[in-house]
Amino acid sequence: DAKTTQPTSMDCAEGRAANLPCNHSTISGNEYVYWYRQIHSQGPQYIIHGLKNNETNEMASLIITEDRKSSTLILPHATLRDTAVYYCIVRVGKGLTNFGNEKLTFGTGTRLTIIP
Amino acid sequence: KAGVTQTPRYLIKTRGQQVTLSCSPISGHRSVSWYQQTPGQGLQFLFEYFSETQRNKGNFPGRFSGRQFSNSRSEMNVSTLELGDSALYLCASMKNRPPDTQYFGPGTRLTVL
């Protein structure tokens, strides 16, 4: 699975949009971009994923650049409950005949702090 | 739909003992993965089970083992506990295979004294 690079930490004012960047310059054509977050000592929470098109759900939006080498997770109106570590992960999708790709490889993530 | 559940939530053991952790996946999910999270090493993949067979394995010693039952529930076992095994153990379930999403449980906090 391709490696990702994220800033170690970010701050965002409450009520503003939080934009979390992720670089995945070695991503291959069949790899998806996933975002999870982890609030202190809880299990990681799935946020969103995408392949090449931008995606939006009730939690966030995912913007993937045209060359797919980077992406941005957008939390449109950040609240204090969005304070967490955010992980960007790339992971192969279907179409492969060999197993071994089911795991998620977590990096160190971005510690997002929402400021009141 | 109920999420992934893990029991127990907290556990204290002493060195040399063994421990068994349990995970119940989301209904209809056939894949269960286990991860270990420590402050020093972060989140690391242990192994994954699908239809009662280990399908994928991380780089952990043989003291760490697991199994999956016909109802997709899974257990992981750690024998001869060491102080370094103190960690948050996370279970994640997935319907079948990528790009199906993995959903995580709340974790079991294991403390080895």
Q: Are the beta carbons of B102 and A108 separated by less than 8 Å?
A: no
**Where residue A93 falls among pLDDT bands split at 50, 70, 90?**
low
Contact status of A43 with chain B (Cβ, < 8 Å): yes
Q: Is the pLDDT of residue A83 over 50?
A: yes
A92, A105, A107: residue with CB nearest B98: A92
**Scanning the structure block, which residue is given the tokens 């199906």?**
B100
Mean pLDDT, range A27-49, rounded to an integer:
92
The pLDDT tens digits for B50-61 are 999 998 899 999
CB < 8 Å to A41, chain B: 88, 107, 109
Cis peptide before B61 (omega within 30 of 0): no
Mutation for B interface: A103, A104, A111, most B CBs within 10 A: A103
Mean pLDDT lowest among A16-30, A63-77, A82-96, B20-34: A82-96
Q: Which of B7, B10, B6, B8 is nearest to B112 (CA)?
A: B10
Q: Are the beta carbons of B31 and A102 separated by less than 8 Å?
A: yes
The beta-strand segments (E) located in chain A are 9-13, 18-23, 31-38, 45-50, 55-56, 61-64, 70-75, 84-92, 110-115
CA pair distance A87, A114, nearest whole angstrom: 16
The pLDDT tens digits for A46-66 are 999 999 989 999 999 999 999
For residue B61, the distance in angstroms to the closest alpha carbon of chain A comes to 18
Higher pLDDT, residue A102 or B65 = B65
Strand partners, A19: A74
